[in-house]
Amino acid sequence: MHQINIDILTLFPEICEVVINSGIIGRAVKKGIINVKCHQIRDFTTNKHKKVDDSPFGGGYGMVMMAEPIFRAFNYVCELRNTKPYLIFMSPKGKMLSQENAKEKLIHKNIAILCGRYEAVDERLIEEIVDEQISIGNYVLTGGELPAMVFLDVLLRMIPDVLPSKVCFENESHYNNLLEHPQYTRPRVWHDKPVPEVLISGNHKEIEKWKLENSIEIK
Ligand code: SAH
Contact present, 85 and 108 (Cβ < 8 Å): yes
Q: Examine the pLDDT at 1 and tell me if it is beyond 70.
A: no
130 lines ligand 1 (CB under 6 A): no
- Give me the percent of the chain exceeding a pLDDT of 90: 88
135 lines ligand 1 (CB under 6 A): yes
Q: What is the mean pLDDT of residues 22-48?
A: 96
- Predicted local confidence at residue 217, as pLDDT: 80
Q: How far is the CA of 136 from the centre of ligand 1 (A)?
A: 9
Side-chain-facing half-sphere of 104: CA atoms under 13 Å? 8
Name the phi and psi angles at 38, rounded to 5. -100, 140
Does the pTM surpass 0.85? The reply is yes
Where do runs of H (alpha helix) occur along the chain? 13-20, 23-30, 67-81, 99-104, 123-129, 145-156, 166-170, 204-213
Please name each of the domains of the chain with its CATH number: 4-156 (3.40.1280.10), 178-218 (1.10.1270.20)
Q: How far is the CA of 21 from the centre of ligand 1 (A)?
A: 24
Contact present, 171 and 130 (Cβ < 8 Å): no
Q: Examine the pLDDT at 107 and tell me if it is beyond 60.
A: yes
Q: How far is the CA of 216 from the centre of ligand 1 (A)?
A: 32
Please tell me the distance from the alpha carbon of residue 55 to that of residue 77, in angstroms, as a whole number. 27
For a mutational test of ligand 1's pocket, the pick from 91, 113, 133, i.e. the residue with the most ligand atoms closer than 8 A to its C-beta, is 91
